[in-house]
Chain A
Amino acid sequence: MADDPLRIGPHSFRSRLILGTGKYPTPAVMEKAHAAAGCEMVTVAVRRVDLKNPGDPIMGHLRGLKVLPNTAGCFTADEAIRTSFLAREFGLSDMVKLEVIGDKETLYPDLEELLKATRTLVNEGFVVLPYTTDDLVTALRLQDAGAACVMPLGAPIGSGLGILNPLNIRLIVERLRVPVIVDAGVGTASDVSIAMELGADGVLLNTAVAGAKDPVAMAEAVRLACCAGRLAFCAGRIPRRATATPSSPDAGKLGAGSNS
């Protein structure tokens, strides 16, 4: 079970980590970090070609990786749909990390527009990976709309606050058929472990690695954390209890009086 591949629509992955390609100090560091994380898929953003400097600085550093275009920066379903169609024209992927932002400050998603865009893109043959809140009802609706997985946030994008509501993530994991990938909010390795221990099928992160003092070392740390969390989830943790239970037997203690 711990070794099962992660399946998103028709795609299958051995690694349960998806990394970003933004905010790295250099493309070379990014490439090393991706290798250290052992990830097989990375997100990219869709933007106008810079006509003054049309060379692509990251293309040459993504060899062997699946590319997952996002719709970051889109505020309506229409914008996100338009961006998804353009991304598909690159000929690199039928997948899209669907983001429809509802609030500039928190970058929380607009759930109504997200559902609308998910329905349309699924009908158009896309494999849709929607970034959503940690709300169970929305997650269920996204699943019903045909999303290939759901990607609830652990905390606001880039905040590094970790998994703010573990209960909500667990509820989503327990109720959905499609994979659940925790997306956004990861600050460090333990956050990845917690997500995986809660039963998440994978974790998507960018800033935690790209913004670390040593991105390559952090990438290795999150790889190990992902494996540890997955193993712990599959191993089945003990229930929490409010009272102590000794690990050593009471019987046979020295000076314990008669053996009656």
Chain B
Amino acid sequence: MRVRLNGQEREVENGATVAALVESLGLAGQPIAVEMNRRIVPKSRFRETTVNEGDTLEVVTFVGGG
């Protein structure tokens, strides 16, 4: 199925959880935050939250800044 991830169309496995998606991106354990359809998905809910066709996801981290 297709989702919109950080502004780009992306193919993910049907029924994937946020945890699986984060792992597939190599981001497990990293300081990240996830928003799904403009709502934050707390880390404690990554395993139980499933991604659906057409969802819009934002995965953010911190970078150098002032």
Shortest distance from the beta carbon of B18 to any chain A beta carbon, whole Å: 12
B66 engages A47 (CB within 8 Å): no
User: Any chain B CB within 8 A of the CB of A189?
Assistant: no
Number of interface residues of B (CB under 8 A): 26
Known contacts A48-B58, A59-B31; is A89 also within 8 Å of B43 by CB?
Answer: yes
Q: How far apart are the CA atoms of A82 and B35 in the complex, in Å?
A: 10
A90 engages B64 (CB within 8 Å): no
Quick one: closest B residue to A44, CB to CB?
B62
Quick one: closest A residue to B38, CB to CB?
A82
A89 engages B40 (CB within 8 Å): yes
A49 engages B62 (CB within 8 Å): no
B65 engages A86 (CB within 8 Å): no
Name the one of A86, A91, A92, A207 contacting B60, with C-beta atoms under 8 angstroms.
A86
Quick one: closest A residue to B8, CB to CB?
A51
Known contacts A54-B27, A89-B43; is A21 also within 8 Å of B64 by CB?
Answer: yes
A48 engages B31 (CB within 8 Å): no
Q: How far apart are the CA atoms of A176 and B33 in the complex, in Å?
A: 35
CB neighbors of B among A101-119 (8 A): none
Known contacts A24-B64, A51-B6, A59-B30; is A89 also within 8 Å of B59 by CB?
Answer: no
CB neighbors of B among A195-235 (8 A): 204-207, 210
Q: How far apart are the CA atoms of A85 and B30 in the complex, in Å?
A: 17
User: Chain A 39-82 against B: per-residue CB contact (8 Å), 1 yes, 0 no?
Assistant: 00001111111010011111100000001011010000000001
Shortest distance from the beta carbon of B41 to any chain A beta carbon, whole Å: 9
User: Any chain B CB within 8 A of the CB of A23?
Assistant: yes
Q: How far apart are the CA atoms of A57 and B31 in the complex, in Å?
A: 12
CB neighbours (8 Å) of B38 from chain A are 82
Most buried by B among A30, A44, A49, A91: A49
B65 engages A67 (CB within 8 Å): no
Quick one: closest B residue to A210, CB to CB?
B66
B59 engages A48 (CB within 8 Å): yes
CB neighbours (8 Å) of B62 from chain A are 44-47, 56, 58-59, 67, 69, 87, 90, 92
Most buried by A among B35, B59, B63, B66: B66
CB neighbours (8 Å) of A30 from chain B are 64
User: Chain B 19-48 against A: per-residue CB contact (8 Å), 1 yes, 0 no?
Assistant: 000000111001111110010101100000
B65 engages A49 (CB within 8 Å): no
A-B contact pairs, 10 of them (CB 8 A): A21-B65, A21-B66, A22-B63, A45-B62, A45-B66, A47-B63, A49-B59, A49-B61, A56-B31, A86-B35
Which residue numbers of B lie inside 8 Å of A, CB to CB?
5-8, 25-27, 30-35, 38, 40, 42-43, 58-66
